[in-house]
Structure 1
Amino acid sequence: MAAPMERLTEVCIETERWAREDLERGDPGTGGVQRLTELFRQEGYREIADERTFTLILKILSKGSQEIKAKIGVSHQSLERWFDVSAECFRCLRNTCVQCPRNQNTIRNMGLIEESVSLIKVFSTSDTLQESCLMAFRCGLQFLGNVAGGNQDSQNSIWKHAFPHLFLNCLTHEDDKVSAYSSMVLFSCMREDRMGEFMEPANLRVALSAVTAYGKRPDAEWLHLIVTDRFLRCPELVKQMYGMECHADRVTLLELIIAKLSEKSPLSEGEVRSLQSIAEFLCECFQNQCRAVLKLAAPGDGEEQEAVVVVRLLDLLCEMTSNNEHFTCLQSCPGLLDTAVDTLRLIHLAGKQSKNVFTSVHTMSLGENLTHAAVGFKAHLIRLIANLCYKNKDNQDKIYQLEGIPLILDNCSIDDNNPFVNQWAVYAIRNLTDRNEKNQELIAGMERQGLADTSVLESMGLHVEERDSKLLLKSVKKM
């Protein structure tokens, strides 16, 4: 049995002969390169690959690229064999890069990255979806992913030749694999110091495309990582993206931020600072957009997209303010608490004025569609108010001034359109009365005047008692 070097030399000689004969007369097959591809599946052959091998592959790939570029706009059918040859060259190069930095460096130094990106760009702008073209397209992106893996110099080369134009066409490509492989390449090449480049107008489109693509493919791991592990580290980029996005993409971005907060791994100091800045920005967005949710009360508006954005903004603010030490800064966010109370008052009034999705119901007549955007919105507003008042005397007192306590008590009944609203109201009242005699006295006085339902207070575990001609709000458990 021939030694690896002898076998590799033999296959290279056969491939060179094939390249001279079949390739030059324009009747290519894949047999010559295919034998090299098979050899490089084995680590022993990858370790002995030399410049002669890569020079040969570069020659074949360049010939294929020349033919494809010259004819792709004229006849796709006559190019099928050249698509096959290109795909096989990419498979071969892809295999040589596996756990082999030496080959990655040789490939880069010989110009194979530049040649490959040039051809892949042609595929990315082609309107053909014939399988042979798609296969070459996919294999080319896989090769870029492998040559970039763990090799910063190769990542720099890909970035130089491929960004932003290649990714603009690939991320939102209708082929799932093209989108997945291109997002893998982009993530591999995205260093933290490159995030600022995305803020340039032409490059910002790449960031927007990544969010759009994820909205279409919510199981795409690399797209998820691009946003959560890269973009969210750059608050100014996120702010620009949010301002440029359509409503549907804003919802996608907000859901990705929620997903980041839900991760079990602890946030780094840099991530905390970035997310705090993003959180403060989104508070402003919520305050500016919140009234759009009232559009959902009008018949026919249904899932109005701007209102859906408001719903997701509220979900995110609830998540950020729930037992999260990193976002206590939101308790002092100017105007946020006022906006939450004002919005609660408006939708509560809207629900009383006519029968709509904000009307409290005890049957499933309105609550049967639990996927409606407005379902749970009132409950989440009360949850946000509760979170903002948690162990915060200033906010407790502000709710008193805003007359928010009677409003919350008026929303304590079971409501099919707002699952768990009673529980969130209980939580809010407990936070509002915690070490706050003024709020306790207010609720006690309401009970005496018949303005607060005794059964509601009891459901909260609270009881009003009179002592020395003074009304006190007490916990039932302490009696």
Structure 2
Amino acid sequence: MAAPSGLVLQIIARINEFIPDSQTEDLPLVVVTPIQNLTRAFREQQNREEATQSVFEVFAQILARQLTAVGVFSENSESSKNEQCLQLTAECFRCLRNACVQCVRNQSHIRTVGLINPTIQILKFLHQFRGFQSDTLIAALQCGLQFLGNLAVGNEESKDVIWKNAFPDLFLNSLHHLDKKIVAYCSMVLFTCLSTERTADLLNHAKGIELAKSIIKVCKKEPELDWAFLIVTEQFLKCPDLVSAVYKKMTNQERIITLELISTKLSDKSLESPVGSDEQAVPVRLMQFLAACFIDECMAVLKYASATVAEEEEALVVIKLLDILCETTSNHENFSYLQDSPALVETTIKLLYETHLAGRQCSNIFTTSQSLSFTNDVTHPAVGFKAHLIHLIGNLCYNNKENQEKVRQMGGIPLILDNCNIDDNNPFVSQWAVFTIRILTEQNVENQEVISQMVCQGVADNAMLNYMGLNVEEQNGKLYVKSQNKGE
């Protein structure tokens, strides 16, 4: 490494020359130029490492003066004076932002000299000036948040101080700002600071739920913003109590956004935890909560039976919940505990019956169709809904004798067989019916006998059963259902 050049100390000495002795005297605008020089110098790692604690003590003096100046800001005061104050503040934040990059020592110096609290206080003050918006004000807010973000990276002590001073008001104000970069930088600070313990603070603070909901809204408004997505998927989902508390206070639109984020998390195979791992993509208690929501709310999907309903958010929530349940129960190793809910099995069978009945009573999205005559639109949210119900029944009955029995007792087998025909409103419904019937009859003589009786009565035919990979054979005057695959 090259020998220290002394550049940083030279610049800071120059800055000191412009700081007046009187605490009440405003800092001259000329001080901005050497601070800008230091900002550029801190782009180099060598210069960052050359900085001593005394460098940041100078900035502590400057920001203390700026905090006083900003505190007496008035939207009616001289605009040029406001602009000068904001320009100096923004440049200080920009310089400190650069000083923190990959430099733990500078992060510690900044915390030691007490720069965090005045920074956050200044940012809180600046958020109050809704009627006075300028590029300089936006720059000060942006750079201040970037500074806090860089200060927190890899430094638990700094994270703790930032969290204690910024939570929840600074985060709430920044997330509600109209400037996208301010929202993005705030999300970055939040994600960097959050931990399991701090996420729990959201549940215990009066404004915590509001902050969590604000992040959800950002995910909807700014879908390309990765930080907000990561806050939900990497932090919030690890705290089932928080998600359930927030979910109960959400609008249906906010619930839809949340469920879409959970679906994205589940579908990312690169994020799957090893079998038996204590840390899963979606914790057990959260999935149990979502299953309970499906049980309680599922009949709302029948609103789609009305041809006049084009958008029904309550019904769409049910569809999103069903998608998640199908995805999770397909992963039997990690989510087999969902099979232990008798109410989930019963509700799914009842809902299949209700949607099937609704489709027969009048022409709607639940009506079996081979011409798309109802909607001519495969993008209708309820397309495939009955197929997914059958899929879920199959998953819940996989290697589970108790659930197999429940389906038979509730008359589910004839109901599933009645959905074996090609249906444009339910793509792949026949394939899922095949899947589910085979699971229901696997090592279950009683369920096989139900199908045999249906053949005797002419309700089910051999062609359909052959399509399912099943044969009906007569032995000693009785019909038996057997798999076509050898060894089963």
TM range (shorter): over 0.9
- What amino acid is the match of 2:93? F
- What amino acid is the match of 2:225? A
Secondary structure of the equivalent of 1:465? strand
- How far off is 1:271 after superposition? 2.8
Q: Deviations over 1:7-64 (max 9, x none)?
A: 223222332334449x936545731210010111111111121233223323333333
Picking from 440, 450, 466, the partner of 1:458 is: 466
Structure 2 CA distance, aligned partners of 1:409 and 1:166? 58
Distance 1:19 1:365, change over 3 A: farther
Which residue of 2 is the match for residue 373 of structure 1?
Answer: 381
Is the contact between residue 463 and residue 474 of structure 1 (CA under 8 Å) also seen in structure 2?
yes
Which residue of 1 is the match for residue 367 of structure 2?
Answer: 359
Which residue of 1 is the match for residue 223 of structure 2?
Answer: 218
Picking from 141, 166, 171, the partner of 1:162 is: 166
Which residue of 1 is the match for residue 357 of structure 2?
Answer: 349
Which residue of 2 is the match for residue 71 of structure 1?
Answer: 73
Structure 2 CA distance, aligned partners of 1:123 and 1:270? 44
Picking from 73, 84, 89, the partner of 1:86 is: 89
- How far off is 1:467 after superposition? 2.3
Is the contact between residue 9 and residue 51 of structure 2 (CA under 8 Å) also seen in structure 1?
no
Picking from 144, 150, 153, the partner of 2:154 is: 150
Q: Deviations over 1:403-446 (max 9, x none)?
A: 00111111111111111111111111111011111111211221
- How far off is 1:368 after superposition? 3.2
Secondary structure of the equivalent of 2:366? coil
Distance 1:258 1:74, change over 3 A: same
2:57 aligned with 1:51? no
Q: Deviations over 1:235-277 (max 9, x none)?
A: 2112111111111111222222223323323437443497111
- What amino acid is the match of 1:64? Q
- Which structure 1 segments of 5+ residues have no match? none
Secondary structure of the equivalent of 2:72? helix
- Taking every aligned residue pair, what percent have the same amino acid on both sides? 44
Which residue of 2 is the match for residue 474 of structure 1?
Answer: 482
- Which structure 2 segments of 5+ residues have no match? none
Which residue of 1 is the match for residue 142 of structure 2?
Answer: 138
Is the contact between residue 432 and residue 439 of structure 1 (CA under 8 Å) also seen in structure 2?
yes
Is the contact between residue 254 and residue 313 of structure 1 (CA under 8 Å) also seen in structure 2?
yes
Distance 1:327 1:82, change over 3 A: same
Secondary structure of the equivalent of 1:440? helix
- How far off is 1:399 after superposition? 0.7
Structure 1 CA distance, aligned partners of 2:166 and 2:51? 26
Matches within 5 A, 1:158-197: 158-197=162-201
Secondary structure of the equivalent of 2:178? coil
- How far off is 1:477 after superposition? 4.9
Structure 2 CA distance, aligned partners of 1:291 and 1:471? 38
- How far off is 1:462 after superposition? 2.2
- How far off is 1:359 after superposition? 1.1
- What amino acid is the match of 1:391? N
Distance 1:135 1:455, change over 3 A: farther
Structure 1 CA distance, aligned partners of 2:124 and 2:105? 26
Is the contact between residue 94 and residue 142 of structure 1 (CA under 8 Å) also seen in structure 2?
yes
Is the contact between residue 234 and residue 274 of structure 1 (CA under 8 Å) also seen in structure 2?
no
Higher helix share: 1
Q: Deviations over 1:133-152 (max 9, x none)?
A: 21211111110011111111
Is the contact between residue 361 and residue 367 of structure 1 (CA under 8 Å) also seen in structure 2?
no
Is the contact between residue 196 and residue 237 of structure 1 (CA under 8 Å) also seen in structure 2?
yes
Which residue of 1 is the match for residue 260 of structure 2?
Answer: 255
Is the contact between residue 70 and residue 126 of structure 2 (CA under 8 Å) also seen in structure 1?
no
Is the contact between residue 65 and residue 86 of structure 1 (CA under 8 Å) also seen in structure 2?
no
Distance 1:367 1:437, change over 3 A: farther
2:389 aligned with 1:384? no
Q: Deviations over 1:292-328 (max 9, x none)?
A: 1111112332221111111111111111100331211
Matches within 5 A, 1:222-371: 222-263=227-268, 264-267=270-273, 269-272=277-280, 275-371=283-379
Structure 2 CA distance, aligned partners of 1:349 and 1:321? 26
Structure 2 CA distance, aligned partners of 1:225 and 1:324? 26
Distance 1:25 1:123, change over 3 A: closer
Is the contact between residue 19 and residue 27 of structure 2 (CA under 8 Å) also seen in structure 1?
no
Secondary structure of the equivalent of 2:473? strand
- How far off is 1:465 after superposition? 2.5
2:6 aligned with 1:6? yes
Is the contact between residue 207 and residue 241 of structure 1 (CA under 8 Å) also seen in structure 2?
yes
Which residue of 2 is the match for residue 123 of structure 1?
Answer: 126
- Please give the root-mean-square deviation of Cα atoms over the aligned residues, in Å: 2.3
Secondary structure of the equivalent of 2:373? helix
Is the contact between residue 232 and residue 275 of structure 1 (CA under 8 Å) also seen in structure 2?
yes
Structure 1 CA distance, aligned partners of 2:300 and 2:166? 41
Is the contact between residue 29 and residue 81 of structure 1 (CA under 8 Å) also seen in structure 2?
no
Is the contact between residue 276 and residue 326 of structure 1 (CA under 8 Å) also seen in structure 2?
no
2:19 aligned with 1:16? no
Secondary structure of the equivalent of 2:474? strand
Distance 1:461 1:25, change over 3 A: closer
- How far off is 1:167 after superposition? 1.1
- What amino acid is the match of 2:87? D
Is the contact between residue 34 and residue 92 of structure 1 (CA under 8 Å) also seen in structure 2?
yes
2:104 aligned with 1:101? yes
- What amino acid is the match of 1:224? F
- What amino acid is the match of 1:228? T
Q: Which moved more, 1:104-113 or 1:218-227?
A: 218-227
Distance 1:106 1:381, change over 3 A: same
Q: Which moved more, 1:181-190 or 1:339-348?
A: 181-190
- How far off is 1:232 after superposition? 1.6
